[in-house]
Amino acid sequence: MTTLASATMPLAARLRRLFGNRAMLAGAVILTVVVLAALLAPAIAPYAPNKLSIVNKLKEPSLAHLFGTDEFGRDIFSRAIYAGRISLLVSLGVVAISTVLGIILGVAAGFFRSLDAPISRLLDAMMSFPDILLAIALVAALGPSLSTVILALGITYAPRLARIIRGQTLVLRELPYIEAAVAMGLPTWQILVRHVLLNLASPILVQSTFVFASAMLAEASLSFLGVGVSTDMPTWGTMLASGREYMNNAPWLMIFPGLAIVFSVLSLQLLGDGLRDLVDPRLAKES
């Protein structure tokens, strides 16, 4: 098990590997900057995100407008910062929902043999659809809004976590101490909480970072297609969509929101890869 192997790794070795992974540290730094900028948006943003100024429309980047302005004279820098709040909020909600659903489905399928087949078939059916198409279908059925986007993406990405948790639970279920706990007559909930879920913490954490990145990219895609959150809310996807018409004359309308998406998703991918390496038992043996 990944968690069992990593749990026996000396603290010094963990810290040495953690600070020796420059890619992971770079991802953590970028993500920290994005989070701080989103949290401090009211203090950092020089203008209100929806403040119109027609006389300043399509201004190039300058000291007055660091990222330029859009077709309505709105400051791109301010809108990009506030858009980060929406992306982070949606991604956190998606991770929460997909993790809860993934744990319930994955543990139930892996621990209870009678539930394995029906749950596995359900997960296979959901994963047979491309993520973005399933999300669009769910949003269309529920109606476009911030809450429905979070719910739709949470349901969409739950099978990813559920499949991984199921596989880990299948291994855990056959370990001697689990069999001993069952033989001693311990309540099932106690076995699941104390012995199964605790050992699933590391793989869940690692996969959650990848789901976070995927959710952020999916939210931008839905907003770009016009089926995401309300257009009144600034998002990186809607900024890209509105900037398409001015791509030749005002490329900054797409460059800066696009870079925000790229760096945010890249930071999460680097962080997830680093966490995965940190808890990988094969790497633990090498050190």
> Among candidates 258, 251, 214, which has minimal Cα distance to 235?
258
CA 276 – CA 283 distance, rounded (Å) = 10
How deeply is 255 buried, as exposed, middle or buried, from its count of CB atoms within 10 A (0-12, 13-18, 19+)? Answer: middle
Contact 191, 236 (CB under 8 A): no
Contact 253, 246 (CB under 8 A): yes
CA 42 – CA 54 distance, rounded (Å) = 23
Tokens of 140: 């269309």
Counting Cα atoms < 13 Å in the Cβ hemisphere of 186 gives 15
pTM: 0.84
| Every domain of the chain and the residues it spans | 22-42+68-280
Residue with tokens 């790497």: 283
For the chain, what percentages of helix, strand and coil (3-state, to nearest 5) are there?
80, 0, 20
Residues across the chain: 287
22-42+68-280 under CATH 3.40.33.10, yes or no? no
Contact 23, 267 (CB under 8 A): no
Contact 268, 216 (CB under 8 A): yes
SS3 69: strand
pLDDT in tens, the chain (287 residues): 444 444 445 555 655 666 667 888 888 899 999 999 999 999 999 999 888 888 888 889 999 889 999 888 899 999 999 999 999 999 999 999 999 999 999 999 988 888 989 999 999 998 888 888 888 888 888 877 888 999 999 999 999 999 999 998 888 888 887 878 778 877 878 878 888 888 888 888 888 999 999 999 999 988 888 887 777 788 899 899 888 888 888 899 999 999 999 999 999 988 888 887 776 645 444 44
